[in-house]
Amino acid sequence: MVKIRVILTILLMIGFPAPAWAQGLGRADSVIDVLTDVLRLNRTVRGHVVRHREATLVLRGDDDRTYTINTADLDLETLRGLRDGRPVAVALKSPVPGAMPIAVSLQQTNGPTKVFRRAEGTVDMVSDDQIRFTTHEGMRVTLDRTRIVGETPPVAPNETATLVYEQEPRIAGVWIETREVQPAAAPRSER
């Protein structure tokens, strides 16, 4: 098994054509990503915390992808220090295609805090590639679903939601969540 991995690594390093699923990445680091996946190595993703809730970290990667990462295996002390916008490095287990990546370790890193803005509004359209959203102020923002690694947000047209977006280098949707509607209190009857 080790010999097969070594031969495959050498072939990939000298320019053997990458598998079709890796050719669409279009980045210089795609060979490293392919090697990491083929050799079943942990992969480190760097980026900024969008939010962390219920053992799921939403991370805006430095590669302009949004990652939904399972953090259930990490210790609570590590997770308590997470703050929105802070830079982190997360080591991920080699993912099963289509599944949520699992964090092996997480380290806070030095660097500037990134500002993610939030806007309330309505989901206009949901397709395999995009979620279109209009804020209450009339701004239209598109969230590219193809740039999400892991679970995609479950939203439907005409739902009220909160969109997280960034403005640098351009306005881009990062994450979206439906708003939980609180039930109205039952009217009190007077006697």
User: What are the extents of the domains in the chain?
Assistant: 2-38, 43-108, 117-178
43-108 with 117-178: one CATH topology? yes
Report the chain's mean pLDDT, rounded to a whole number: 82
> CA 39, CA 82: separation in Å to the nearest integer?
30
- CATH node for 117-178: 2.40.50.140
pLDDT over 70 percentage in the chain: 71
Give the count of beta carbons closer than 10 Å to the beta carbon of residue 32.
Answer: 13
What is the fold of 43-108? Answer: OB fold (Dihydrolipoamide Acetyltransferase, E2P) (2.40.50)
pTM of the model: 0.72
**Cβ proximity of 128 and 177 under 8 Å:** no
Q: Where are the beta strands (DSSP E) in the chain?
A: 43-53, 56-61, 66-70, 87-92, 103-108, 117-126, 130-135, 140-144, 148-149, 160-166, 172-178
Taking only the tens place, the pLDDT of each residue in 123-161 is 999 999 999 999 999 999 999 999 999 999 999 999 999
